[in-house]
Amino acid sequence: MKSWYKIAQIIEPHLLSPEKLNDVPGYKYDPNLPSEGQYIDGTVVLGPKAYELSPEGRKNVILHEHSHELDSRMSQSDQMKILDAADKGILGERIETPNGFYLKSNFTGQYKPNEIVVDAYAHLMGSAEERSYVMSRAPKVAHLAMDIASRCNLVVPAPEWDATHSSPPNSYVLKNGFYSPV
């Protein structure tokens, strides 16, 4: 399995122009994309809104979109765990509206159950600051995101995993501060 976060560190896709981005496998620029980014079949797609952001902001969008790999791999049972966490108020305060409810998270602007968990994983795969931010603001969400990631054969950060678990994930090896699937 390729470690996208390492590749992203080497080529720094957030610093590339839309034209150059199209030359990088796994990335695409779509001039008609209505959102900042999207994750489609393993490809991170950026739109014009992503290019209105600072490179640092764009980097966060890219990390978030990559983290949607969690969505594409998770089982029905993990999906149920996320909905259960939403019901219990673990993902954020439930705000009722005439059209249903949304979640008010205390670490991200995301308001849908899956988006909040995906963004927790993005934070955990981000800088030391972002990791400690999610670990202190939303430890239960971070824990849930890591558990799901480990069941999806995705990399998890070792210090944060060790802080919340008594043993490493099954069939994972420690490499450069991350637990990676064997």
Site for Zn ion, rule CB under 5 A: 115
Backbone φ and ψ of 36, nearest 5°: -65, -40
Q: Considering the complex, what minimum distance in angstroms separates the CB of residue 85 from Zn ion?
A: 17
How many other C-beta atoms can be found within 10 angstroms of the C-beta atom of residue 108?
22
Name the residue with the smallest CB distance to Zn ion.
Answer: 115
Nearer to Zn ion, 69 or 115 (CB): 115
Nearer to Zn ion, 40 or 80 (CB): 40
Q: Considering the complex, what minimum distance in angstroms separates the CB of residue 115 from Zn ion?
A: 5
Nearer to Zn ion, 115 or 160 (CB): 115
Distant-in-sequence, close-in-space partners of 81: CB < 8 Å, separation ≥ 6 = 144, 148
Nearer to Zn ion, 65 or 160 (CB): 65
Nearer to Zn ion, 145 or 158 (CB): 145
Q: Are 30 and 46 within 8 A, CB to CB?
A: yes
Q: Considering the complex, what minimum distance in angstroms separates the CB of residue 123 from Zn ion?
A: 13
Q: Considering the complex, what minimum distance in angstroms separates the CB of residue 46 from Zn ion?
A: 13
The DSSP 8-state label assigned to residue 33 in this structure reads -
Q: How far apart are CA 171 and CA 151, in angstroms?
A: 11
Beta bridge partners of 60: none
Alpha helical stretches, state H, the chain:
4-11, 18-21, 55-67, 69-73, 76-87, 113-124, 128-137, 139-151, 158-164
Q: Considering the complex, what minimum distance in angstroms separates the CB of residue 133 from Zn ion?
A: 18
Q: Considering the complex, what minimum distance in angstroms separates the CB of residue 90 from Zn ion?
A: 19
3-state DSSP assignment of residue 182: coil
DSSP sequence for 160-172: HHHHH-SSPPTTE
Nearer to Zn ion, 69 or 158 (CB): 69
